[in-house]
Amino acid sequence: MTGAKRFELSDRAIIWLFLVPTLVLLIGMVGYPFVSLIILSFYRFSILRSEAGREYIGLENYDFLLDDPELWERFIFTGQFVVTSVTCQFIIGIFVAYHLQKSFRGRDIIFTVLMMPMMVCPIVVGFLWRYMFNSEWGVVNYLVTLTGSGKVDWLGVTDNALLAVVIADTWMWTPFVILLATAAFRGIPKVIYEAADIDGASAFYRFTRITLPLAAPILFIALLLRMIDSFKQYDLFFAMTGGGPGSTTQTVSFSLGKVAFSYFYTGEASALAVILLLIIIGLSLVLVRYLNLLSAKARG
Amino acid sequence: MTAGPSPVSRALHFLPVVLLLVYSFYNIGPMFWLVISSIKDRQDLFTFPPTLIFEPTWSGYQAVFGVGAAAGSAAAIGLVDALINSIVISVSGTVAAVALGTFAGYACSRFAFPGRNDFLFFVLSTRMLPPVAVLVFYHIMFSELGLADTRIGLILIATFINVGLATWIMKGFFDGVSTDIERIAINCGYSRFYAFRRLVVPQVKGGIAATSGFCFIFAWNEFAFASIISTTQAKTLPVKIASAMGATGLEWTQICAAGTVLIVPVVILFYFLRHYLLMGMTFGVLGRAK
Amino acid sequence: MAAISIENLLVRFGDFRAVNKISLEIADGELVVFLGPSGCGKTTTLRCIAGLQEAQAGSIAFDGQPILELAPSARNVAMVFQSVSLYPHLSVAGNIAFPLKARGEPRQAVRERLDWVAGVLDLGAIMKRRPGGLPPGALQRVALARAIVRSPNVLLLDEPLSAVDEQFRENMRWELGHIQRELGVTTIYVTHDQREAMALADRIVLMRDGRIEQFGDADDLYFRPATAFTGYFIGSPSMNFFPLRLQDDGIELAAGGRLDGAAGEALQRALSGREGCRLGLRPQDLHLTAAARGPQLSGAAEILPYRQGSDRLFSFKLGEQVFLGSDRSDGAATAAIHLDLSRAFLFDAEDRRLAVDLGAREAVS
């Protein structure tokens, strides 16, 4: 039979062959840092003063961190940021992707242009929005004054600053959602929409009962990825607020950067990283479980 | 029988268009502002109301490329090298990540092997680490292995940060392809690998395009690891530009110029991929194996 | 239930006229089959009636009410598609209930209708299952259930059995016909399979290149084809077509075939003054037989008897053309080819059938 390989790989061999390289690469790249991270979290250590050696202090780093009320505030703040930003990205992203479904002239050019925000270097994005949000001469405030209101102090007031960073983050990552949502929507066979039309479904009913459920698996993967990335967001806060005013817009990730590279409390930073990781892992597990349910349902 | 549409429903009909226009403005406006700020002279940058008509200056770009007024500065030296480094590293990393992700994604989609969920979660978890927390360890690790300041080292970084994303997205796309065709091919005596390569992979071209786009973006803009690992020879473009400008402080013009320059390769890639990116995926109903 | 009236329907794709100004009237409760080769416009017409395809001109009315301005959901039509159109993420019950729920029917009513439909189509066993994994026959039964559950005005079926295995097709065809008669819903059924059409239809619309070739019941199309195309398309094996030429001493059929003078008198009269006519004769009416009976065809070459199932056929050549007939010779050496001209059709140069009496009906042997 033409095309069939004389040397055939059993399914078992295929599984191994397809998975092992990835596994090897990841364990190789991530093993040492992961393990070191966890180990170091039990030590008092600073890379700056590495000659001073390290002192095993058990869970002291964790105690110290978890006792700090500011840390909890930062967690809440981080949660606010992640939820707000990801929600905005998804609502806007799905809306835009839905309307990009029909073909029109120039659609692929417009699509490419819409993808651009996520291509910009994150630090540059941060500086750009800082520049645009400047309360004195920033273009955002210019637009605000056009509507008649006075200038807003964006980056100097905590709530405004949060909003500003959310706006910047949403700007940057909505295209990610648009791209994946477009792919998901495109995958629904036209026949099903025709059947729904004939069955008498309104556009809304069709969207909620057919489009979304069938697109759900991919959308959830997008949600998972965006959520994980949002927790790591650092560049925007660094460039736009520097954690300020004061230290009110410090996310956990930002705090991590400070502890690691401003104070150089490497042990403590490691412990903080572990805590952050555990939270992300926890949330991801919940999401993944839900994703599996959705996938099974959508596949029929 | 049918009265004309009410004013409310007419308005509702236009609402999506209005919202889309608003989003387009929100999306494109800041990009436009980035580019226009890259050619603004200092005094034009900080005016209120902001200026749209002004005398353009190329000093920002000159600083980035190390030519003209900035000739002979640290920027010029090694810029082309940095560019080549970035391209080689990003392309290699993307290709590697997409390949690994496609294979792993297919295996996870088609075979419910024991430990599949654990594997998938592990792969995803490699993305959860904030680089800030582990930079030190990578520095140590790479130094020990002799990978510091090498292209290979950075290619490995570029690959590993993306494999998780690639695997999950490709699995999602593979899940959307019905297993009918593979089963028919296998029943006809074709090997599974043949079915995979010739029958299934072509159906997920949209997924490969999307994954490639994302991986390239993350690899290209990767800064944290690169700045720690590559100090001279393997310097990537973002690092190079950042260090070249570091001396003069926050020059908005230069930053915007750097940002604009850095986008260009990515835009080119997405432009070439645009047809595939809009392809999406296919769902089937008949015959799901698992 | 609705009578359908189509007037001058025109559907254009660029310069190509997929449906070229057709008009027809369908009675309430009829099962009409749109039949024809691929690309003839039957599916396009169906989709116009459904509301999935825009028409550039013409009108369609249900019971006198024009419907082309209405959205599909407002027309109270139901459709079974050629490809699987079931919602993959819903169970069979969910799929069937969808049109009811989409229109806001109360739960109790939905359940009652579900039970009724499940009974009619015998779906009780699979109500909780998902479409994925069900065989094509079951899938189309579910699609049919979803279509009839809300008692539509018009039921539209687009080649619903094309994906179903041959062995189940007969059964399903019967079921479909039976359900349609029971429900009395006006039904339009699109197919390219003429046997299906002949078996199911009250009337058949034979289409070709966007136009209606002939509209009538099965007997009309089989025994009184209006054109050569109809003659060719309906009936299997397909009709033979012999190009005719009038000669001094008889008629020439195709290349080298001859019908002697006495036998084809009526035919000769019909042919005088006409050029380019063809004789259409079904293989069933062309016999290889030892008994001398009726007009005889001479000049045939390569006579080859063979079997097709329990039918005994034979093929022969006149010039380069191959023709088919029924073999009744039992291997007799004196067998000759006889034509039953009373069942023959004469088509003029424009392929229209000429109403000519070509001879007395043979006694059935």
Extract the tokens encoding C61: 């009315």
Task: Determine the residue type at C307.
Answer: R
Give yes or no for residue B143 having a pLDDT over 70: yes
| ipTM for the whole predicted complex goes beyond 0.85 | yes
Q: How far is CA A156 from its chain centroid?
A: 25
Q: Which residues of A touch C133 (CB under 8 A)?
A: 300
C132 touches chain B (CB under 8 A): yes
Q: What is the structure's pLDDT at C48?
A: 93
Residues 57-96 of chain C with CB under 8 A from chain B are 69, 84, 86, 88
Residues above pLDDT 70, as percent of chain A = 94
How does pLDDT run across A104-128, given as a tens digit for each residue? Answer: 888 888 999 999 999 998 988 988 9
Contacts of C70 (CB under 8 A, 6+ apart): C51
A203 touches chain C (CB under 8 A): no
Give yes or no for residue B290 having a pLDDT over 60: no
Q: What is the structure's pLDDT at A203?
A: 87
Cβ-defined contact of B286 to C136 (cutoff 8 Å): yes
How would you write the pLDDT of chain C (365 residues) with one tens digit per residue?
Answer: 789 999 999 999 988 888 999 999 999 999 999 999 988 989 999 999 999 999 999 999 999 889 988 888 889 999 999 888 899 889 999 999 999 999 888 999 999 999 999 988 888 889 988 888 788 888 999 999 999 998 898 999 999 988 888 888 888 888 888 889 988 999 999 999 988 899 899 999 999 999 999 999 999 999 999 999 999 999 888 899 988 888 777 788 887 788 765 666 777 777 777 888 888 889 988 888 887 667 888 877 788 888 888 888 888 888 888 899 888 877 777 778 888 888 888 888 888 888 777 665 544 43
- Out of A189, A199, A214, the one facing C102 most closely (by C-beta) is A199
B160 touches chain A (CB under 8 A): yes
Cβ-defined contact of C73 to A298 (cutoff 8 Å): no
Section B111-121 average pLDDT = 89
Q: What is the structure's pLDDT at C359?
A: 65
Question: Where do we find the tokens 């590293």?
Answer: B89
A111 touches chain B (CB under 8 A): yes
Cβ-defined contact of C132 to B2 (cutoff 8 Å): no
Burial profile B56-83: b = 16 or more Cβ within 10 angstroms, e = fewer: ebebbbbbbbbbeebeebebbebbeebe
Section A210-224 average pLDDT = 91
Chains that touch C (3 or more CB pairs under 8 A): A, B
Minimum CA–CA partner of B282 in chain A: A187
Q: What is the structure's pLDDT at B275?
A: 85
Q: What is the structure's pLDDT at B249?
A: 59
Cβ-defined contact of B285 to C69 (cutoff 8 Å): no
Interatomic CA distance for residues C333 and C326, integer angstroms: 16
Q: What is the structure's pLDDT at A166?
A: 95
Extract the tokens encoding C218: 């099965």
Q: What is the structure's pLDDT at C333?
A: 72
Q: Which residues of C touch B285 (CB under 8 A)?
A: 84, 86, 88, 131-132, 139
- Out of C69, C86, C132, the one facing B287 most closely (by C-beta) is C132
SS3 C101: helix
Sorting pLDDT into bands at 50, 70 and 90, what band is B123? very high
Contacts of B17 (CB under 8 A, 6+ apart): none
Interatomic CA distance for residues C191 and C196, integer angstroms: 7
Cβ-defined contact of A195 to C81 (cutoff 8 Å): yes
Dihedral Cα C279, C283, C289, C293, nearest 10 deg: -40
Across B36-40, B239-243, C133-137, C138-142, which has the greatest mean pLDDT? Answer: C138-142
- Out of C72, C73, C132, the one facing A300 most closely (by C-beta) is C132
Name which of B153, B149, B170 is nearest B107 in CA terms.
B170
Give yes or no for residue A20 having a pLDDT over 60: yes
Per-chain mean pLDDT for chain B: 82
Interatomic CA distance for residues C196 and C171, integer angstroms: 12
- Out of A23, A30, A256, the one facing B133 most closely (by C-beta) is A256
Q: What is the structure's pLDDT at B250?
A: 65
What pTM value is reported for the model? 0.85
Question: Where do we find the tokens 């069937």?
Answer: C96
Q: Are C130 and C143 in contact (CB under 8 A)?
A: no
Sorting pLDDT into bands at 50, 70 and 90, what band is B91? very high
Residue C112, CA distances (Å) to A135, A219, B52, C108, C296 in order: 65, 36, 68, 6, 66
Interatomic CA distance for residues A272 and A259, integer angstroms: 9
A187 touches chain C (CB under 8 A): no
Q: How many CB pairs under 8 A join A and B?
A: 290
Sorting pLDDT into bands at 50, 70 and 90, what band is B285? very low
- Please provide the DSSP assignment of C215-240 as one string: EE-HHHHHHS-SBHHHHHHSSSSPPE
B214 touches chain A (CB under 8 A): yes
Minimum CA–CA partner of B287 in chain C: C133
- Out of A3, A14, A21, the one facing B190 most closely (by C-beta) is A3
Q: Which residues of B touch A127 (CB under 8 A)?
A: 250, 252, 255, 259
Q: HSE-up of B283 (CA within 13 Å, CB side)?
A: 31
Q: What is the structure's pLDDT at B77?
A: 63
C363–chain A nearest CA distance, Å? 54
Q: How many CB pairs under 8 A join A and C?
A: 72
Task: Determine the residue type at A3.
Answer: G
Q: Which residues of B touch A180 (CB under 8 A)?
A: 169, 210
Cβ-defined contact of A191 to C85 (cutoff 8 Å): yes
For the CA atoms of chain C, what is the radius of gyration? 25
Give yes or no for residue B21 having a pLDDT over 70: yes
Residue C21 Ramachandran class (φ > 0 left, ψ -120 to 50 alpha, else beta): left
Give yes or no for residue A17 having a pLDDT over 60: yes
Extract the tokens encoding A20: 């092992």
Extract the tokens encoding C241: 């077509």
Q: Are A106 and A191 in contact (CB under 8 A)?
A: no
Interatomic CA distance for residues B173 and B203, integer angstroms: 9
Name which of A164, A128, A132 is nearest B260 in CA terms.
A128
SS3 C326: strand
Q: What is the structure's pLDDT at B74?
A: 59
Identify the residue with better confidence: C160 or B243. C160
Contacts of A294 (CB under 8 A, 6+ apart): A213, A216, A217, A220
SS3 C297: strand
A33 touches chain C (CB under 8 A): no
Q: Which residues of B touch A115 (CB under 8 A)?
A: 213, 270, 277
Q: What is the structure's pLDDT at B58?
A: 81
Section A4-21 average pLDDT = 75
Q: What is the structure's pLDDT at A1?
A: 43
DSSP-assigned beta bridge partners for residue C281: C240
* Pairing status of strand C353-354 against strand C345-347: antiparallel
SS3 C288: strand
Interatomic CA distance for residues B63 and B245, integer angstroms: 7
Across A39-43, A46-50, B102-106, which has the greatest mean pLDDT? Answer: B102-106
Section A131-158 average pLDDT = 84
Q: What is the structure's pLDDT at C296?
A: 81
Interatomic CA distance for residues C72 and C99, integer angstroms: 12
Q: HSE-up of C37 (CA within 13 Å, CB side)?
A: 8
Give yes or no for residue A5 having a pLDDT over 60: no
Residues 110-169 of chain A with CB under 8 A from chain C are none
Q: Which residues of C touch B288 (CB under 8 A)?
A: 132-133
How does pLDDT run across A145-165, given as a tens digit for each residue? Answer: 888 887 888 888 888 889 999
Q: HSE-up of C138 (CA within 13 Å, CB side)?
A: 20
Q: What is the structure's pLDDT at B70?
A: 60
Chain C residues with CB within 8 Å of chain A CB: 50-52, 71-73, 77-79, 81, 83-89, 98-99, 102-103, 130-133, 146, 150
Q: What is the structure's pLDDT at A69?
A: 85
Interatomic CA distance for residues B236 and B215, integer angstroms: 16
Identify the residue with better confidence: B231 or A253. A253
Chains that touch B (3 or more CB pairs under 8 A): A, C
Name which of A82, A98, A188 is nearest B23 in CA terms.
A98
Cβ-defined contact of B128 to A4 (cutoff 8 Å): no
Interatomic CA distance for residues B33 and B25, integer angstroms: 11
Q: Which residues of C touch B283 (CB under 8 A)?
A: 88
Q: What is the structure's pLDDT at C33?
A: 95
Extract the tokens encoding C184: 């009395």
Cβ-defined contact of C133 to B2 (cutoff 8 Å): no
SS3 C364: coil
3-state secondary structure string across chain A: CCCCCCCCCCHHHHHHHHHHHHHHHHHHHHHHHHHHHHHHCCEECCCCCHHHCCEECCCHHHHHHHHCHHHHHHHHHHHHHHHHHHHHHHHHHHHHHHHCCCCCCCHHHHHHHHCHHHHCCHHHHHHHHHHHCCCCCCHHHHHHHHCCCCCCCCCCCHHHHHHHHHHHHHHHHHHHHHHHHHHHHHCCCHHHHHHHHHCCCCHHHHHHHHHHHHHHHHHHHHHHHHHHHHHCCCHHHHHHCCCCCCCCCCCHHHHHHHHHHCCCCHHHHHHHHHHHHHHHHHHHHHHHHHHHHHHHHHHC
Identify the residue with better confidence: A223 or A69. A223
Cβ-defined contact of A195 to C85 (cutoff 8 Å): yes
Residue A48, CA distances (Å) to B19, B136, B153, B168, C116 in order: 52, 11, 24, 38, 79
